[in-house]
Amino acid sequence: MFFSKKKEIIGLDIGSSSIKLVELKEGKNGYRLQNLAISSLPPEAIVDGALMDSATIIDVIKDLIGQAKTKTKNAVTSVSGHSVIVKKITLPFMTEAELEESIQWESERYIPFDINDVNIDFQILGSDTENPEVMEVILVAAKKDIINDYVSVIMEAGLNPVIIDVDAFALENMLAINYDLEGGETIAIANVGASITSINIVKNNVSAFTRDIFKGGNQLTEEIQRQLHVDFDEAERIKVGSKMDVASQPVIQKVLKEASESLAIEIGNSLDFFQSATTYEKISKLYLSGGGSKIKDFEILQQQHIGIPVEMINPFKQIEFNEKNFDLEYMREIGPAMAVGVGLASRKVGDR
């Protein structure tokens, strides 16, 4: 797409435990980081993607805008969870205009919600590799009430929501601007949030499979709380390995291993399901992102479980930034949690 003047946008990742703001500037040699901010949300402010405490969320967004000192008003955010359905379907060949007209009734077979209660979008991927007489289409449906809630809080915070994306696609965009994937390579990303883990399997830089697992970092924290009788903040520190006294180390390691294994198995099962249901070649690598992925030794545990290379994502890998303005150690620390935000910030006004 070509624009006479690029309109700047903010990527706003509204997660269940924190909100992340990212602003990028695109230049001749790629992207440059302009602004970055992150702020925690109180528990129960967002539950399964539903905004339960809009007033607090609006205040946090306003606070982030103040921290970042940004003047940009256009914002892109994303949704995930029970209220969003992403399906890859096959349909008879038709033009985009023809599909635009027929998508409502074509969708009814695939979407478990009342068709009048959802916003529907699609992307034509091209002909099916196994049957060239039909085309592959990514179908996305999101509940209107959830979309309206997100649009409302963004507007009340003084911003202009221009795109509502899906977490899995934001991760795909983040990957595309940071990693040079070999042609035909099939990779997976697991974005471990506080309450939801989003899985996206990408082939030829296009989503081939997405799934949300309703388990994340908070469940591990709660398990640590329950077994070690500590408060939430202390359990969080234990989870990432920043608090461990020698006396309780064996107990902590046992609890961490058990809680982490449960999530690792769920992620592994999703990858197995995809590979058993398709003729694609083996997934070559799993990238981990999200604040919940920073569980102590989780990378190693996940690799042992699935038997393929596992790597913690660096969403700033190919993004320039001024080290006077952005502390390198801090960027490494928060990097995995900013992956969705970076993907959102790479969108452009006018994108689908």
Q: Which residue has the tokens 């500590």?
A: 230
Are 41 and 60 a contacting pair, CB within 8 Å? yes
Does residue 287 lie in a domain region? Answer: yes
Round to whole Å and give the CA distance between 124 and 88: 10
> Residue 36: which pLDDT band, with cuts at 50, 70 and 90?
very high
Does residue 285 lie in a domain region? Answer: yes
**Which residue range forms the structural domain that includes residue 194?**
181-313
Does residue 271 lie in a domain region? Answer: yes
Are 124 and 137 a contacting pair, CB within 8 Å? yes
Cα(first)–Cα(last) distance of the chain, in Å?
11
Are 203 and 184 a contacting pair, CB within 8 Å? yes
Name which residue leads in pLDDT, 62 or 257: 62
Name which residue leads in pLDDT, 244 or 96: 96
Does residue 46 lie in a domain region? Answer: no
Residue among 316, 265, 314 nearest 287 (CA):
314
pLDDT of residue 237: 83
* Residue 6 pLDDT exceeds 60: no
Strands (E), the chain: 10-14, 18-27, 30-40, 46-47, 50-51, 74-79, 84-92, 118-127, 134-143, 160-166, 186-192, 197-203, 206-213, 285-289, 310-312
Strand partners, 311: 287
Tell me the two tokens of residue 7: 């309109």
Question: Tell me, what CATH number does 298's domain have?
Answer: 3.30.420.40
Are 83 and 143 a contacting pair, CB within 8 Å? yes
Q: Percentage of the chain surpassing pLDDT 90?
A: 51
Can you list the alpha helix ranges (DSSP code H) found in 163-211? 167-178
pLDDT of residue 248: 67
pLDDT of residue 3: 34
Q: Which residue has the tokens 């309206």?
A: 148
pLDDT of residue 117: 94
Average pLDDT score over the chain? 88
* Residue 4 pLDDT exceeds 60: no
Query: What is the rounded average pLDDT of the residues 56-64?
Result: 97
> Residue 67: which pLDDT band, with cuts at 50, 70 and 90?
very high
88-145 per-position pLDDT tens digit: 888 998 889 999 988 888 888 888 888 899 999 998 888 877 787 899 899 999 999 9
187-241 per-position pLDDT tens digit: 999 999 988 899 999 887 788 888 888 888 888 888 888 888 888 888 888 887 7
pLDDT of residue 350: 63
What is the count of structural domains for the chain? 1
Cα dist from 327 to 173, 186, 322, 323, whole Å: 24, 33, 9, 6
Does residue 123 lie in a domain region? Answer: no
Does residue 273 lie in a domain region? Answer: yes
Does residue 236 lie in a domain region? Answer: yes
Does residue 295 lie in a domain region? Answer: yes
Strand 18-27 vs strand 50-51: parallel, antiparallel, or unpaired?
unpaired
300-348 per-position pLDDT tens digit: 989 998 999 999 999 999 999 998 999 999 999 999 999 999 999 999 8
